[in-house]
Chains A and B, each alone.
Chain A
Amino acid sequence: MPSNAQILWMYEIMEKARYYEDTMAAVYMEGKSPKFDIGAGTVPGEMHLAAGQEPCAAGVCVHLRPDDAVTATHRPHHVAIAKGVDLNKMTAEIFGKASGLAGGRGGHMHLLDPAVNFSCSGIIAQGAGPAAGAALAAKLRGTDAIAVSYLGDGAANQGGFHEAMNLAALWQLPVVFVIEDNGWGISVPKAKSTSVADNSVRAAAYGMPGVHIADNDTLALFDAAEEAVARARRGEGPTLIEVETYRYYGHFQGDPELYRPKGEVEALKAKDPIKRLRDKAIADGSMTEAEADAALARAKAEVDAAFAYAREAAYPAPEDALTAVFA
């Protein structure tokens, strides 16, 4: 069970991630009307927002240290926030500015921050192997650092995921695989892509424990992740956790979501996980309303500051496109 401090931390992180995504949804549309043009405006390119998936980030990252490695997906913002990525530099990177994490070379799908050992990628399941590799590095060095690989439900069918699972179990690597099952691989529902209803059963195929977290339950995930992280640190090897979570937005911004059943998003929002955590914590006294309000205010202020920072930041010199290819 989490301490009060951990509950407050998770609540604040989730509110921060939620407000970040909702803010980004609005900013992303700047300059893209009257006709939506994906390459135009303040934030160009694809945008994959994780509103609704915040528990997956908070419930796991609460247990992590800066020296633990995290690899994430094309829908990375909530995880980056939970891992402690510099919010100003991250937002500047998404805006394509020179003061971004990579001087604008990576953008929203390629946010990398060695200061907190965070990286993400636009290729499905591409992060599974590197997380195993970071875990291998920790093991070779004899530290108790671990790695976490975030994946979507779609990634659970990609070969690289299966290879990494086998390798991690075979070599007893300190890695936790976290599947954020939001039910959709773009437009294809899980029942039409995946041969099993619950990916946690696939853990048995690789000889590691598998845990399923139902209905976006932050506290249940907290407990499962605590055990998985502790196992890994003790040298007992990997764990697979699948979290049934919610995707409030489309696969990408601009996605008309014609494939999505009417009312699904509204039904999910009616049981919003952040509100559930807040209400429960206030009801059982682990958080006061004043603490929650203060946390929310802090979260919003930090996000607003990051967006302001990114807006005011300068674009890189065009010739910077040619640098930083090699170390």
Chain B
Amino acid sequence: MTSNRILPVSRAMSEAIAEEMRADPSVFVMGEDIGTYGGIFGATGGLLDEFGEARVRDTPISETGFISAGVGAAMSGMRPIVELMFVDFFGVCMDAIYNLAAKNTYFSGGNYKVPMVIMTATGGGYSDAGQHSQTLHGTFAHLPGLKVVAPSNAYDAKGLMTAAIRDDNPVMFMFHKGLQGLAWMASPDAAATVVPEDAYEIPFGQASVLREGKDVTIVTLSMMVHKAMEAAEALAKDGVEAEVIDLRTIVPLDRETILNSVAKTGRLLVVDEDYRSFGLTGEIIAGVAEHDPTLFKAPPRRLAVPDVPIPYSRPLEQFIMPDAAAIAEAARASLG
């Protein structure tokens, strides 16, 4: 049965979780305010009512405690979904993520699996300042043993969440707050999409070419996908055809789609809301360069948040955030 109902990202996520919880009693959810409240960013709406307190657990403010408990439960054969409310909070519990969850498969030679989803809210642009606005794609992608996914829209969010829950490995599900479709935070119209009612998976390691173009490749993810698409429309009015690639997953990374596109356009612009240095944008460019630097007809470019704490005041924050105008300008500049 097909339906044309449109869901915001938050509902797509909670629907994916609910469907997996109905199908598999080993799936359960833990986190701060994920029960009665339904998740501060709406990711777990309706779950407590349907599944009850045993499987939908509001936790104390103890990220190390409940994330490492999730690891222990996963190693015992359960499939926990644990919410780290803001990705910025990883500091208090990173050991449980990168030293424990990410490594116990390796430390056991594959004899233990850690089938766990850590979902976490990323992103700024609404004056939540330096400890509540970060994105940190690179931080988690850098450390071995974690899969890292970042949807840009509701259709992808449901498919990636379903795949994440079914994956036998720890998966960081990084969702942007500004894409959730919350009543109290604006989100791009294009983030809410038609979402099939039945369960489906989007395989990891498959980027999506949202817009084909011959002149410049824009590789991006999460909220920046929407800015890039806006920029692409503006560019098209000037006769510049941008190819926009939505990564969807960072680990594993779809390097082939990126290479094929740069081989076609010769111009690469990487856009990421994370900090600029030592992260995702550098990785994408390096990956193309080490494969074949002659693909570049112009120097590759990147747009990211500069290496400063994210400021509070609106003019300051708008200055450091990549936007459609900056993306279009960078794309034009790479055409000389």
Taking A102-B111, A119-B112, A129-B68 as contacts, is the C-beta distance between A166 and B73 under 8 angstroms?
A: no
Contact A132 B100 (CB under 8 A): no
Contacts of B113 in A (CB 8 A): 327
What are 10 A-B residue pairs whose CB atoms fall within 8 Å in the complex? A100-B109, A101-B111, A105-B109, A106-B109, A130-B72, A130-B100, A134-B75, A137-B73, A159-B92, A325-B105
CB within 8 Å of A: which B79-100 residues: 80, 92, 95-96, 99-100
Taking A129-B66, A140-B28, A159-B64 as contacts, is the C-beta distance between A326 and B112 under 8 angstroms?
A: no
A123 within 8 A of B: yes
CB within 8 Å of B: which A110-157 residues: 110, 112-114, 117, 119, 121, 123, 126, 128-138, 140, 147
Instruction: Kindly specify which of B52-60, B293-301, B313-321 makes contact with the partner chain.
Output: B52-60
CB < 8 Å neighbour of B64 from A114, A129, A131, A171:
A129
Q: How far is the CA of A101 from the CA of B57 in the complex (A)?
A: 34
Q: How far is the CB of A73 from chain B (nearest CB, A)?
A: 14
- Name 7 extra pairs, CB < 8 A, besides A113-B108, A167-B59, A327-B113: A105-B107, A117-B76, A121-B99, A163-B63, A163-B64, A170-B60, A325-B106
Contact B65 A140 (CB under 8 A): no
A103 within 8 A of B: yes
Interface size on B, residues (CB 8 A): 47
Q: How far is the CA of A131 from the CA of B63 in the complex (A)?
A: 15
Contacts of A101 in B (CB 8 A): 108-109, 111
A47 within 8 A of B: no
Contacts of A113 in B (CB 8 A): 108, 111
Contact B107 A102 (CB under 8 A): yes
Contact A137 B77 (CB under 8 A): yes
Contact A123 B100 (CB under 8 A): yes
Instruction: Using CB atoms, name the residue of chain A closest to B30.
Output: A136
Contacts of A123 in B (CB 8 A): 95, 99-100
Q: How far is the CA of A70 from the CA of B219 in the complex (A)?
A: 46
Contacts of B100 in A (CB 8 A): 121, 123, 126, 130
| Interface hub of A117, A129, A131, A167 (most chain B Cβ within 10 A) | A129
A31 within 8 A of B: no
Contacts of B59 in A (CB 8 A): 167
A24 within 8 A of B: no
Q: Which residues does B use to contact A, with CB under 8 Å?
A: 28, 54-55, 57, 59-60, 62-78, 80, 92, 95-96, 99-100, 103-115, 144-145, 147, 168-169
| Interface hub of B71, B75, B76, B115 (most chain A Cβ within 10 A) | B76
Q: How far is the CA of A110 from the CA of B65 in the complex (A)?
A: 20
Q: How far is the CB of B103 from chain A (nearest CB, A)?
A: 8
| Interface hub of A100, A101, A119, A147 (most chain B Cβ within 10 A) | A119
Contacts of B70 in A (CB 8 A): 133
Q: How far is the CA of A326 from the CA of B106 in the complex (A)?
A: 7
A183 within 8 A of B: no
Q: How far is the CB of B77 from chain A (nearest CB, A)?
A: 7
Contacts of A121 in B (CB 8 A): 99-100
Q: How far is the CB of A36 from chain B (nearest CB, A)?
A: 26
A207 within 8 A of B: no
Contacts of B62 in A (CB 8 A): 163, 166-167
Contact B64 A147 (CB under 8 A): no
CB < 8 Å neighbour of B107 from A71, A106, A132:
A106
Q: How far is the CA of A132 from the CA of B106 in the complex (A)?
A: 22
| Interface hub of A106, A166, A167 (most chain B Cβ within 10 A) | A167
Contacts of B112 in A (CB 8 A): 112, 114, 119
| Interface hub of A132, A133, A160 (most chain B Cβ within 10 A) | A133
Instruction: Using CB atoms, name the residue of chain A closest to B111.
Output: A114
Q: How far is the CA of A32 from the CA of B70 in the complex (A)?
A: 40
For the complex of A and B, 4 pairs with smallest distance between CB atoms: A133-B72, A129-B68, A163-B65, A130-B72
Contact A126 B68 (CB under 8 A): yes
| Interface hub of B62, B92, B99 (most chain A Cβ within 10 A) | B62
Q: How far is the CA of A134 from the CA of B70 in the complex (A)?
A: 8
Contacts of A326 in B (CB 8 A): 105, 145, 147, 168-169
Q: How far is the CB of B60 from chain A (nearest CB, A)?
A: 6
CB < 8 Å neighbour of B95 from A134, A140, A160:
A160
Taking A126-B68, A129-B66, A130-B68 as contacts, is the C-beta distance between A137 and B78 under 8 angstroms?
A: yes
A26 within 8 A of B: no
Instruction: Using CB atoms, name the residue of chain A closest to B114.
Output: A327
Contacts of B54 in A (CB 8 A): 140
Q: How far is the CA of A171 from the CA of B72 in the complex (A)?
A: 15
CB < 8 Å neighbour of A132 from B65, B75, B99, B145:
B65
Q: How far is the CB of A230 from chain B (nearest CB, A)?
A: 21
Contact B60 A102 (CB under 8 A): no
Q: How far is the CA of A276 from the CA of B202 in the complex (A)?
A: 62
Q: How far is the CA of A144 from the CA of B327 in the complex (A)?
A: 58
Contact A71 B72 (CB under 8 A): yes
A324 within 8 A of B: yes
Instruction: Using CB atoms, name the residue of chain B closest to A104.
Output: B109
A303 within 8 A of B: no
Q: How far is the CA of A324 from the CA of B107 in the complex (A)?
A: 9
Q: How far is the CA of A166 from the CA of B63 in the complex (A)?
A: 12
CB < 8 Å neighbour of A134 from B65, B72, B96:
B72
Q: How far is the CB of B168 from chain A (nearest CB, A)?
A: 4
Q: How far is the CA of A180 from the CA of B227 in the complex (A)?
A: 56
Q: How far is the CB of B251 from chain A (nearest CB, A)?
A: 10
Contact A147 B72 (CB under 8 A): yes
